[in-house]
A and B are shown apart, each in its own frame.
Chain A
Amino acid sequence: MRALLWRDIRIGIRAGGGALIGVLFFLTVVAVVPFGVGPDLNLLSRIGPAILWIGALLAALLGLDRLFQGDREDGTLDLLLMQEHPLALTVLIKCLAHWVVSGLPLVAASPLLGLFMNVEPLAIGATTLTLLVGTPAVTFIGAVGAAVAVALPRGGLLVSILVLPLAIPILVFGVSAAYAAVEDPAPFLPPFLILTAITLLFSVIGPVAAAAALRASTD
């Protein structure tokens, strides 16, 4: 299993920047917002955490369809399906590797992009922390969508649409936790803990559902 983790991370880094594309998309989304809403620093700093979260969510959705498609195209998926290892565990490991390659760079880039939006340091910290906890959930849910759409040659957008409704709670609680860190009356901990719970829940449901979808999709 550790071998699979390392292999997927290595491919993600080497395959010509799957990781980089997500970060670039994130950068693009965040960079155009100040041009769109105008140079009102107070407004920017107020909407900053939300824009960061939306940008990260879209960037995370962008690369999801590749989760199983590469393995399917070269026949690796057939072999993964035939092994003694529980398939759900294999999927979980693939999700973790995918998150390390495409989710973690988004988290790492968010403080810098927060500066673009004139977000204050505490809010930047809160946003980065919520992204760190919340983006794995996007990957786990996305695995289900990616598994359902694995047989479709252009499944990318379909995956995003399938996954988006389920990703909304992550966005809601992520953004509210980030805001709660700076706005006084709202408590930070409850939405943050709910976000953590969502991630843990989907880390169980996602791989199991994705494994079932992969088994059903063989042809």
Chain B
Amino acid sequence: MRLVAENLGASRGGDPVFSGLSFSLAAGEALIVTGPNGVGKSTLLRVIAGLLRADTGLIALERDHGAEAGVLAENSHYLGHRNGMKRELTVSENLDFWQTFMVMEGDAARMPVADACAVLNLDHVLHLPYGYLSAGQQRRIAMARLLLSHRRLWILDEPTAALDLAAEEAFAGMVNRHLDDGGLAVIATHQPLAIARQATLSMRARAQDEGALS
């Protein structure tokens, strides 16, 4: 399983944000996307998630012998800046909904809602309305969604903003376990994360010489 991007370019409102971006990510690896604000990290992640159309190039999840492994968006978890949870519903109602909605019939590897919250040390807030939680707790609940159904690729946009140190560690452990299971992750972040196997994609402001992969 590989995530392969070739000559990827995207624009926002007609202005090109980045172009000529190529990378390849093997199973068990995380791609850390770094760079200054406005350089196109979120745009890149939205392109990978299929929420924005790429101007040029293509991106796909490939099996080892090169065949495409299903639609990329359907095999991905996307955690953007917004958490995708309803303030009016309780935490467990929110998570129950996403679990039922995201797990297709015949799929395995689902984690019970309470267990997923326990991973992030939040099993005591299940009965509270989501809107009552603090920003960091809301973020952690949104992360718990990643565990509810098995998706190969995690696309995370600044996941650790608003998190305390303990939650950051729990998050890093979560990502490491996902990678150990043969998953992939693309993470845009400004903070160093304790993730074992990572490649860094540093995006620079000039549109021509994008994407130094180290």
Q: Which residues does A use to contact B, with CB under 8 Å?
A: 1-4, 7, 10-11, 14-15, 70, 73-76, 78-79, 81-85, 218-219
Contacts and interface: CB of A to CB of B under 8 A. Distances in A.
B6 interface: no
Contacts of A2: 100
Contacts of B84: 74-76, 78-79
30 contacts: A3-B96, A3-B97, A7-B86, A7-B89, A7-B97, A10-B88, A11-B86, A11-B88, A11-B89, A14-B88, A14-B89, A73-B82, A74-B84, A74-B85, A75-B80, A75-B82, A75-B84, A76-B84, A76-B85, A78-B49, A78-B78, A78-B84, A81-B50, A81-B51, A81-B73, A82-B73, A82-B76, A82-B78, A84-B104, A219-B12
Given A14-B88, A218-B52, A219-B52, A7 B93 contact: yes
B93 A82 contact: no
B71 to A, nearest CB: 8
A95 to B, nearest CB: 17
A210 B83 CA distance: 23
Contacts of B52: 218-219
Contacts of A219: 12, 52
Given A74-B86, A84-B104, 17 more contacts: A2-B100, A3-B97, A3-B100, A4-B97, A7-B86, A10-B88, A11-B86, A11-B88, A74-B84, A75-B84, A76-B85, A78-B51, A81-B50, A84-B74, A218-B46, A219-B12, A219-B52
Smallest CB-CB A-B distances: 3 pairs = A75-B82, A3-B100, A75-B84
Main secondary structure of the interface of A (DSSP, over half): helix
Contacts of B177: none
B49 A82 contact: yes
Interface in B93-135: 93, 96-98, 100-102, 104
Interface of B: 12, 46, 49-52, 71, 73-74, 76, 78, 80-89, 93, 96-98, 100-102, 104
A83 B97 CA distance: 13
Contacts of B50: 81-82
Contacts of A73: 82
A1 B155 CA distance: 24
A9 to B, nearest CB: 11
A3 B113 CA distance: 15
Nearest to A7: B97
Contacts of A79: 78, 84, 98
A75 B96 CA distance: 17
Contacts of B88: 10-11, 14-15
A83 B96 CA distance: 16
A76 B73 CA distance: 14
A147 to B, nearest CB: 15
A70 B101 CA distance: 18
Contacts of B78: 78-79, 82
B198 to A, nearest CB: 24
A22 B82 CA distance: 29
B83 A83 contact: no
A3 B202 CA distance: 40
A78 B89 contact: no
B50 to A, nearest CB: 6
Nearest to A1: B101
Contacts of A81: 50-51, 73
A14 B94 CA distance: 14
Contacts of B83: 74-75
Contacts of B97: 3-4, 7
A176 B212 CA distance: 69
